[in-house]
Each structure stands twice: as C-alpha cells, then as structure tokens.
Amino acid sequence: MVPDSVEATSVSTTSALIHTGLLSVGLSNLFWKGSELNSEDPERLLMLAMALFCIAIPFQGLYILLSRVIREYPNPVLVPSSVLVLASRCEVVSYACGIIGFCLMLVRTSNILAVTLIGSALLVIIMARSALSVSAR
C-alpha cells in the first residue's frame, strides 16, 4: 500500500509544482512586460496576454491550495468529489489562460514561433482526441 500512496502524492506534488512554475512565469511576465506598456497607447495584444495571465494567477493559486488539501487525505478515495471537480476546473482555466497568454506573447515576438506553437498544439489535440476515441471503443 505504501507505493500507491507515494505514487499518488508524487503525481499531485508534480502538478502543484507545475502550477507554481506557471504562477511565477505569469507574475514575472506581468511585471517585466508591464513596464513596457505605453500608458497613452497600450499595445492591445500585450494587454490581452497580460489580462489572461491575471485571470490564470488566482486559479493557479487555488489549484495549489486544493492539491495540498487533497494530499492531506490519508486515502484518495475519501477526497470529496466537489474538491476534485473544483481542482480540475482550476487546472483547466489556469492552463488555458496561461498557455494562450504565452502564445500571444510569442506572436508579438515572432510569427514563425507562434505558428509553430499553434501547429504543435493542434497536433497534440488531434493526437489526444484520437487516443481517447480508440480507448472509448
């Protein structure tokens, strides 16, 4: 039984660490790129990217807290489903806003990099959907 609980904790810890990293990237982008804003005529794409980071940050923080709560339960089966659903929704919102915000930052930097990232994201979505449809059969 010990290996299962260690494995479950490491997965939860890894996910929380990823969100902590995303949180620090979002905050650093807000501070770093925020200094580039022209108050008279702010660049719309940069403002949109920064707004997405602002949306993602509270969801990332809540996900980190919820993953800590989930790890406190002695058995993963005992975790209330409402906590798991909330954690899942926070994860989706934070990933979506963070990744889209990062893509918008990339568009400002280089169209080639942005197209490459969007193309690889579409490929991953297609691969995931095909894998899910095969496993559903």
What's the CA gap between 57 and 24, in Å, rounded? 9
Domain borders along the chain are 2-101
Farthest-apart Cα atoms in the chain, separation: 61
The whole-angstrom separation of Cα 43 and Cα 36 is: 9
SS3 per-residue string spanning 86-99: HHHHHHHHHHHHHH
The answer to whether 64 and 19 are in contact (CB under 8 A) is: yes
Encode pLDDT of 116-131 as tens digits.
988 888 898 788 888 8
Please state, for a pLDDT cut of 70, what percent of the chain lies above it: 83
How sure is the predictor about 13, in pLDDT bands with cuts at 50, 70 and 90?
low
What residues have CB less than 8 Å from 84, skipping those under 6 apart? 70
Segment 48-95, tens digit of pLDDT: 988 998 999 899 889 888 888 888 887 777 888 898 889 889 988 888
For the record, the structure tokens of 15 come out as 């996910």
CA distance 13 to 4: 14
**Cα-to-chain-centroid distance, residue 106:** 17
